[in-house]
Amino acid sequence: MKIVVTGGAGYIGSHTVKLLTEKNHEVLVIDNLYNGHQEAVKDAQFIRCNIKDTDKLTEIFESFKPDAVIHFAAFIEVGESVKNPLSFYENNVSGTVSLLKAMEITGVDKIIFSSTAAVYGNPVTVPIPETEPIKPINPYGQSKACVEKILNDLSTFKGLNYVSLRYFNAAGADPSGLIGESHNPETHLIPLILKTAKGEREKIYIFGTDYPTPDGTCVRDYIHVNDLADAHLLSLEYLMSGGKSAVFNCGYGKGYSVREIIDTVRKITGKDFRVEETDRRPGDPAVLIADPTNLKKTLNWKPKFDELDIIIKSAWRWELNRRF
């Protein structure tokens, strides 16, 4: 199949592109490299382009003639979204509308959307099912929820077929060591702890130790990036075989606390490092754990890297031999 991947030079995008090319799909990556790295794009065509440029996208689609689109391109940093909400709405919502216009003009009717567990806000039910009310508590989550509503409208009234994948906490790196997580600035917990173990950071902070969890720190569902990439491949196959529009949670259904992550990093790296406890951050739910039942049942998703040790070992291997 011929697949356009927006944001394919980013963390999750590049791992998905690698998997698609290994499965002999023809892939065209569109990325403006605001957060991505061209070095992360392996064995795929690459065009530097902003998704807000509808005319350019239309031109690309008319030439490449994709069967489907996988849409990663977005701003993702929650804290930044609180500081600059309009930039997130402009990029994540308006940018997606531009992409959808280009798809409509050129007759492309299948898309896989990179959504987030942040659409749930502070959930009532844990593990969280897809039926949990959508109540985001920050502009990042709100921007993704907006796009989900747009996709639902286009599916209902215009015949668009989509899968929205609500990611929990993506982590780890490809076992090849060729690609991995590389954000600037880095805000994700596991790479921040690894950088502290490596001596690049003075200390790691624990934000809040009084949550209603077994050890008082936040609990999250960490999913290996390659298992997440596999969910995209299965979603693509599902849509191409006539599957109806759907939403799936992407997580393992089990969570680890911040303290458990720190302890596991110490064990795997053999390094000790300074940890400082501080106040809670506003807007951090105590527990976020996915219910992945629908993903497993509908797409026959079978995770291969669903152990914390595997996730952290792969991330540490990447951190020690970073290529970008």
What is the pairing mode between strands 169-171 and 256-257? unpaired
**Distance between CA 58 and CA 61 in Å, rounded?**
5
Considering the candidates 11, 34, 120, 140, report the single residue annotated as catalytic.
140
* Ramachandran angles phi, psi of 163, nearest 5°: -125, 130
**Distance between CA 98 and CA 81 in Å, rounded?**
20
**Distance between CA 159 and CA 35 in Å, rounded?**
32
Q: 């009084």: which residue's tokens?
A: 210
Do residues 62 and 38 lie in contact, with contact meaning Cβ atoms separated by under 8 Å?
no
CA angle 153, 227, 324 (to 5 degrees): 100
Do residues 301 and 230 lie in contact, with contact meaning Cβ atoms separated by under 8 Å?
yes
138 DSSP assignment: S
DSSP string of 86-135?
HHHIIIIIIHHHHHHHHHHHHT--EEEEEEEGGGG-S-SSSSBPTTS---
**Distance between CA 75 and CA 72 in Å, rounded?**
9
**Distance between CA 231 and CA 7 in Å, rounded?**
17
The SS3 call for residue 244 is coil
Residue 118: CB atoms within 10 A of its CB come to 25
The two three-digit tokens of residue 145, written as one number: 């929820």
Q: 């896989």: which residue's tokens?
A: 112
Catalytic residue list contains 34:
no
The SS3 call for residue 29 is strand
**Which residues are catalytically annotated?**
140
